[in-house]
A = this chain, B = another copy of it.
């Protein structure tokens, strides 16, 4: 009989310096989060595990990264780079090279946990300004040395690995400054290494810090907000007017980005949560909201039933009074789905949009659960990624993949991917849509399974990408391409469109030194 009061010894200790763990650990080194007992129980059941499986952690990555790997760049060339940025901004040690060649995909983390050092850069350079970058790019071009760009390091698509070695530019060390705030045009121009919290704080405190008349917000809060830089935007290839955006370092190095700003007026925000009898109906409501022409909510999220059930347990709502009421209303676990979100903007715009959303949801059998669950989600969402470390310590893998899809293809894509994932025994698959447009939305798949072998995991994940591709999902809605999606780009975009990217690549980078192989180029 399974003991119900067993609590795993979640490892919540600051990693030692220079260890593999200090590289892959999420976020602040002294912040941790482990699954609540409700979620722990879900995982055990779904993955077919017992308390025994949570007695001995595995692959903690506690070893130090040994400084054994020689750089392949010649001493003469290293001196040339030093001359540009100064000795204090250039690093050749294995730890630095590994750190800045690694992102946050499950595959990155598995490699680090296993002490694997592969596909890393030869030199880590922290450029101080645009002038440094111009010189570095020219030097790399001349010497045919590959060049990679590291922003905040939150990449989940293997975008930071350096299969051909070369130089990695770290942008968030020095190139993180304000360039210009333009209150008349509602824009701000910053260096691309500025991190999310600093960016948002600048705008929120615009009167004090920017001498502005009002407070502003960037209005952009990815879950990686605290640990990602502003430089990463859009996915699946570049646009021509902003040809650098989405080019993932294949065409050049971004040295400044201008973004729209919005009024910071938290007082006008209204949160809402609804429970629907099933996913298809919840999606239909979200579609109607997106096509209602009454403006768009700033946050909207529809969870499928598996994610909804986990959420109910994670937040300790299972068996609660609201849960019983839902059951009474016919909203049962295994089928019911959460829709939640927030309206923002001018006071009465936000108020009316909130009203219209309520109307649409009620027409579609949605039960209003107040704004409380939404507020609770908002509070926890930035700390949820810390949980991955805790689960990984016991060999449980978590990763995500996401795709854009038009409304008419959504259900087919959802079922194809979900069926594929659920074929893997003892696997959790939680799905939600989080970005909405009149023409479609995205589907965000979170999969949790126990697996140790990187190759097995990789082939499982590649299978998901294939399902997305077959069902007319885009390869990415917002994560980007990286080396994970790169092999699928040609099939996804088609030869004609890839040939255009190749022509542009050749134009910008005839020696193919800029993130070679990135975007599939």
| Interface, chain A (partner B; CB < 8 A) | 182, 184-187, 237-241, 243, 260, 262-263, 287, 291-295, 344-346, 348-349, 352-353, 355-356, 406-408, 438-440, 499-501, 503-504, 506-507
Which of A260, A262, A348, A353: most chain B Cβ within 10 A? A348
The answer to whether A294 touches B346, judged by C-beta atoms less than 8 angstroms apart, is: yes
Residue of B nearest to A346 (CB): B294
The answer to whether A293 touches B349, judged by C-beta atoms less than 8 angstroms apart, is: yes
Other than the given A239-B241, A295-B349, 13 more pairs (CB < 8 A) read A185-B406, A185-B407, A185-B408, A186-B291, A239-B239, A240-B243, A240-B504, A260-B439, A292-B346, A294-B346, A294-B348, A295-B345, A503-B506
A348 to B262, alpha carbons, bound, how many Å? 23
Which of B263, B348, B408 interacts with A184 by CB under 8 Å? Answer: B408
Query: Within 8 Å CB of A260, what residues of B?
Result: 438-439
Query: Within 8 Å CB of A240, what residues of B?
Result: 237-240, 243, 500-501, 504
Query: Within 8 Å CB of A356, what residues of B?
Result: 346, 348-349
A292 to B182, alpha carbons, bound, how many Å? 16
Which of A240, A263, A294, A499: most chain B Cβ within 10 A? A240
* A185-B440, A262-B293, A507-B500 as given contacts; A352 in contact with B345, CB under 8 Å: no
A351 to B293, alpha carbons, bound, how many Å? 12
A298 to B81, alpha carbons, bound, how many Å? 54
The answer to whether B408 touches A182, judged by C-beta atoms less than 8 angstroms apart, is: yes
A237 to B263, alpha carbons, bound, how many Å? 32
A106 to B38, alpha carbons, bound, how many Å? 74
Residue of B nearest to A292 (CB): B346
A40 to B353, alpha carbons, bound, how many Å? 48
The answer to whether B182 touches A293, judged by C-beta atoms less than 8 angstroms apart, is: no
Query: Within 8 Å CB of A500, what residues of B?
Result: 240, 243, 504, 507
A239 to B237, alpha carbons, bound, how many Å? 11
Rounded to whole Å, the gap between the CB of A316 and the closest CB of chain B is 36
The answer to whether B293 touches A345, judged by C-beta atoms less than 8 angstroms apart, is: yes
The answer to whether A186 touches B439, judged by C-beta atoms less than 8 angstroms apart, is: yes
A344 to B503, alpha carbons, bound, how many Å? 43
Query: Within 8 Å CB of A348, what residues of B?
Result: 294, 352, 355-356
A249 to B344, alpha carbons, bound, how many Å? 42
Rounded to whole Å, the gap between the CB of A470 and the closest CB of chain B is 19
Can you spell out 13 A-B residue pairs with CB atoms less than 8 angstroms apart? A184-B287, A185-B406, A185-B407, A185-B439, A186-B439, A187-B439, A237-B241, A260-B438, A260-B439, A262-B293, A294-B345, A294-B349, A348-B356
* A241-B237, A295-B295, A504-B503 as given contacts; A349 in contact with B353, CB under 8 Å: yes
A128 to B366, alpha carbons, bound, how many Å? 50
Query: Within 8 Å CB of A243, what residues of B?
Result: 240, 500
A383 to B349, alpha carbons, bound, how many Å? 36
Query: Within 8 Å CB of A503, what residues of B?
Result: 503-504, 506-507
A501 to B243, alpha carbons, bound, how many Å? 11
Residue of B nearest to A251 (CB): B500
Residue of B nearest to A219 (CB): B293
Residue of B nearest to A243 (CB): B500
Rounded to whole Å, the gap between the CB of A305 and the closest CB of chain B is 22
Residue of B nearest to A287 (CB): B184
Rounded to whole Å, the gap between the CB of A314 and the closest CB of chain B is 33
Rounded to whole Å, the gap between the CB of A134 and the closest CB of chain B is 13
Rounded to whole Å, the gap between the CB of A217 and the closest CB of chain B is 11
Rounded to whole Å, the gap between the CB of A507 and the closest CB of chain B is 4
A90 to B493, alpha carbons, bound, how many Å? 36
Rounded to whole Å, the gap between the CB of A66 and the closest CB of chain B is 44
Query: Within 8 Å CB of A407, what residues of B?
Result: 184-185
Query: Within 8 Å CB of A440, what residues of B?
Result: 185
Rounded to whole Å, the gap between the CB of A255 and the closest CB of chain B is 13
Query: Within 8 Å CB of A287, what residues of B?
Result: 184
Rounded to whole Å, the gap between the CB of A235 and the closest CB of chain B is 11
A439 to B185, alpha carbons, bound, how many Å? 5
